[in-house]
Amino acid sequence: MIEINKLKRQIYEESTPFLGRICVRMGLTPNALTIISLISAIISGIFFWKAKVWWGVVWMLITSLTDMLDGATARAGNMGTTFGGVLDHVSDRYGEFFILAGITMSHLVHPGWGLFALFGMIIASYTRAAAESIGKIENCAVGIMGRLEKFVLIIVGAIMEHYYPTWRVLEIALIIVGLTSYITSIQRLIYAHKVLGNRKG
C-alpha cells in the first residue's frame, strides 16, 4: 500500500509540472490557487445544499483542479513555503467540510451518512497531520483511499444520483467514503507506530 501511494505521488508530480509553469506565466501564486480552491468548495457546497447537483459537481471539479495546481505551481516556480503548506492543508479541510456539509443539509442523502463521511475524512486527514507534525514522520500519506479518490467517488455518486435518484447512489458513495476514511485513519496509526515504535516524546 505504501509503495502504491508513493507511485501515485510520483506520477502526479511528474505529470503536472507543465500546468504549474502555465500558472506561473499567468502570474498565479500557489496561495492564490489555494484560496480559489477553497472558494470553489464553498460554492460547490451551496449548490449541493440547494440540490443543484450538476453545478455542485462542476464547482467540485474546479476545487480539485485548483487544489492540484497549487502544488504544481509551487514546484514549477520554486515558490513553496512552509506557511503555504499549512494554508493548503487547512483550506483542504475547510473545503471538505463545506462540500460534505452542503450534501448533508440537502435532501439527497440521510444527514447521518453525511456526518459519517464528513467526520471520517477529517479524522483521516488529522491522523496524517498528527503523525507528520508530532511524530516528525516525513510522509504519512498511506491508506486505502486518498482525498482525490474520495472526491471522484462523491462526484460519480452525485452524477448517478441526478439520473437515478431512487438508487441512493450518492448515499452509498458517502458510506464508502466514510468507511474507507476510518480504515485509512487506522492504517496511518499503524504505520506511525511502526515508524515511531516506543520513541520518547
- Tell me if the domain spanning 2-193 has CATH number 1.20.120.1760: yes
Contact 189, 128 (CB under 8 A): no
Task: Determine the pLDDT at residue 198.
Answer: 77
Dump pLDDT digits (tens) for 124-148: 999 999 999 898 898 898 999 989 8
Taking the C-alpha atoms of residue 6 and residue 14, their distance in angstroms, rounded to an integer, is 12
User: What's the Cα-to-Cα distance from 34 to each of 25, 77, 132, rounded to whole Å?
Assistant: 17, 15, 21
pTM: 0.91
Taking the C-alpha atoms of residue 97 and residue 115, their distance in angstroms, rounded to an integer, is 10
The percent of residues above 90 in pLDDT, for the chain, comes to 79
Q: Which grid coordinates are listed for 189?
A: 496509526
User: Reduced to 3 states, what is the DSSP secondary structure of residue 105?
Assistant: helix
Dump pLDDT digits (tens) for 50-107: 999 999 999 999 999 999 999 899 989 999 899 998 999 999 999 999 999 999 999 9
Residue type at 150 in one-letter notation: K
Task: Determine the pLDDT at residue 81.
Answer: 92
Taking the C-alpha atoms of residue 115 and residue 110, their distance in angstroms, rounded to an integer, is 9
**Stronger pLDDT, 7 or 184, i.e. the higher one:** 184
